[in-house]
A and B are shown apart, each in its own frame.
Chain A
Amino acid sequence: MATSISLRNPNVSLGTTFPIARFASPRSSIVTLRMPGESMACPPPLATTAPSAAVETVPIGERPDRFGRFGRFGGKYVPETLMYALSELETAFETLSKDQEFQRELDGILRDYVGRETPLYFAERLTEHYRRADGTGPHLYLKREDLNHTGAHKINNAVGQALLAKRLGKKRIIAETGAGQHGVATATVCARFGLECIIYMGAQDMERQALNVFRMRLLGAEVRAVHSGTKTLKDATSEAIRDWVTNVETTHYILGSVAGPHPYPMMVREFHTIIGKETRRQAAEKWGRAPDVLVACVGGGSNAMGLFNEFVNDKEVRLIGVEAAGHGIESGKHAATLTMGEVGVLHGAMSYLLQDDDGQIVEPHSISAGLDYPGVGPEHSYLKDIGRAEYYSVTDVEALDAFKQLSRLEGIIPALETSHALAYLEKLCPTLPDGTKVVLNCSGRGDKDVQTAIKHLQL
């Protein structure tokens, strides 16, 4: 296969002309999202009107360009042994995304096996909770990714990649996992498609997510404990990459988030973008136009990109990502990569990451294993840099409060990861004008977290 290698200076900007001033700083008390005087009624009943006039689009650089870069972020920083496999993967993905039969097969599995489409649920009591004394307040909707088979959004990507692996003729699947949700999703699809499955999980993570470990084994996967480094997600990812380097000819690596070397950030986003696509249609049905604000938790960033991607070019839609501040960002024990990190290279991609003065990758901390990653997807780094998306962080304690609150107000027990996004509503809602439509990605259910919650919550 002839490969033409052209070299491009990655520091040359791709000329983003995104107007940064459009977005109110998080510290401003007034956020103007629409013309004053425009009234917003309570959420209307199911409307059959067509979606509103086309939203103005904004030029942003290629996401990604053909070198796998989002601005200066992304790329393929991996050992040479993997380079051919990555380009093979990229070609296969491009071909399959145009293949109608593949799309039909994938849609069928998402519908009949995963249980899509997931509801866009009006959280009535949560909305009431944030309603101000004068009766005004935003309208809060939850995109119910927790209702997917296996209880989180992770399965969207696992299914897509498993189908891709089959097309590539790979019979052995490997994956890394933090919370275990991606591991469970991968083990699930391997059982469904009859593929050999090996999951790498940090020894420390295995302890705090024992239920998911059992689940993976029950589904037929081999779970390998990783004892190197800090014994958490970053080490499991490194070990999965090493396995792939060694077994690349027979193995497909189902990376669980929008991180890693190109084409993974793009591919994983594409497999999750159905979240945003459904949301657009559902929002139009429910209230006649796009949402105003999207909120999602960010670990590697897959559920957030899945929701945001559809709306990145709609400048009216505000994108908010919420990271884990652990014990507080000043404490040094957190996973707030976009807030406190520096740009570097981790697991194949240039992105923000948490590192020490020597350039060593540090062990992050979060009560939620799924957010406990010292890196972040390169596309999020890019969206932050160009000012298109805003990123905040929330502590363990705040997340636990939100975990309890949603359970009490809506009868939905959210994952601790999702609880971070929910916790940010405390700061966000008071700033939003009446009737602002907020869609929060309810990325997972919290049954897996009750063991952790029991240790921290007095009920």
Chain B
Amino acid sequence: MALALKSAFFRAQIRAQTISHRNPSLISPSIVRLKSSTVMASLEVAQTRSISETFSKLKEQGKVALIPFITAGDPDLATTSKALKILDTCGSDLIELGMPYSDPLADGPVIQAAATRALAKGANFDSVISMLREVVPELSCPIALFTYYNPILKRGVERFMTIIRDIGIHGLVVPDVPLEETEILRSEASKHGIELVLLTTPTTPTERMKAIVEASEGFIYLVSSVGVTGARASVSARVQSLLQDIKKATSKPVAVGFGISKPEHVQQIAEWGADGVIVGSAMVRLLGESTSPEEGLKELETFTKSLKAALP
């Protein structure tokens, strides 16, 4: 939060300087003071904690985080904006927002289809950012962006981080960048106060898992099964032992994702000791495949509440 304050003040100064640069006659201390108080006022509305802080708070309260995932732009950006608000008010502790991409190789058919629909509708990085700029100040929970690496490279890592930080994004998940390739991402992310979340999976050997959990920020994303995203009938029992192994290696929070689609799953994973549960395809399907956006939003609300109820 301190970081958010600092950068907001910095931005206010820049804005004040810009104004005075354009019109020298406007140089006046009162303008700067006015800007600062406006910034303070807007800060009181948009008080989102960082991801780490969110988890710390939940731990104090003995709670497990509910982390929904939806794809931006499916069925359309206006619906995504409404969906984010609904997810927030229904008790989500953190929301993952997926940027639609042409070749999502970690994603199964549901999220692939959502990405294709979103792209066909014209969603792109700029339009998603514009949508977020409007809605993030109204959310009480932090947002983490889920994107593949190429769109980040396209803009340049530094510029990408600046843009997302500017609109109040707190975290980033990049599924096609393994630990060895994260050096630049991590250094730019940390310069901009973005937490880069890393993934560990059932095929990751223990020594490697330890290096990953050491480097991950915000939380550790434990992939529940060997595969791509997509609802599964049940959660693999391996998750329990994987959680135990990770907990031996670190005190950082661990959230489990991929395949989780029912309140029973969510409850089971919470019982096994996870600090958070990520639900993606099940949410995406509700929104994208319903008879109308309004219907989809209603179903999303009901579903989210049922998941929240299953969690401590």
Contact = CB atoms under 8 A, between A and B. Distances in A.
A360 B101 contact: yes
A248 interface: yes
Contacts of A194: none
B226 A76 contact: no
Contact of B102 (A9, A83, A360): A360
A245 interface: yes
A283 interface: no
A67 B200 CA distance: 20
Chain B interface residue number, banded: 35 or more
A81 B176 contact: no
Interface string A163-203: 00000000000000000000000000000000000000000
Given A9-B184, A67-B180, A80 B154 contact: no
A83 B112 contact: no
Given A85-B203, A346-B103, A355 B178 contact: no
Contact of B201 (A7, A81, A344, A346): A81
Interface string A233-260: 0110010011001111100000000000
Contacts of B226: 81, 245-249
A360 B199 contact: no
A75 B151 contact: no
Interface in A337-393: 342-348, 353, 355, 357-362
A345 B179 contact: no
Interface stretch (B3-11, B133-141, B204-212, B239-247): B204-212
B106 interface: yes
B205 A84 contact: yes
Contacts of A247: 226
B203 A344 contact: no
Given A11-B184, A361-B103, A5 B199 contact: no
B176 A242 contact: no
Interface string A19-37: 0000000000000000000
Chain A interface residue number, banded: 35 or more
Interface string A323-335: 0000000000000
A80 B201 contact: yes
A241 B228 CA distance: 10
B152 to A, nearest CB: 8
B295 to A, nearest CB: 25
A355 B105 CA distance: 16
B150 A79 contact: no
A153 B1 CA distance: 59
B199 A79 contact: yes
A115 interface: no
B3 to A, nearest CB: 25
Interface in B94-125: 101-109, 112-113, 116, 119, 124-125
B159 interface: no
Contact of B103 (A80, A83, A234, A343): A234
Given A228-B112, A245-B106, 15 more contacts: A4-B207, A5-B208, A75-B181, A79-B178, A80-B199, A80-B200, A228-B109, A238-B103, A238-B105, A242-B107, A343-B153, A344-B154, A345-B149, A348-B176, A361-B102
Query: Which are the 7 A-B pairs with shortest beta-carbon distances?
Result: A359-B154, A359-B151, A246-B227, A360-B102, A358-B124, A81-B201, A79-B106
20 contacts: A3-B207, A4-B207, A5-B208, A8-B183, A9-B184, A10-B181, A77-B149, A77-B181, A79-B176, A80-B178, A80-B198, A242-B105, A242-B108, A245-B226, A344-B153, A345-B148, A348-B176, A358-B125, A359-B155, A360-B119
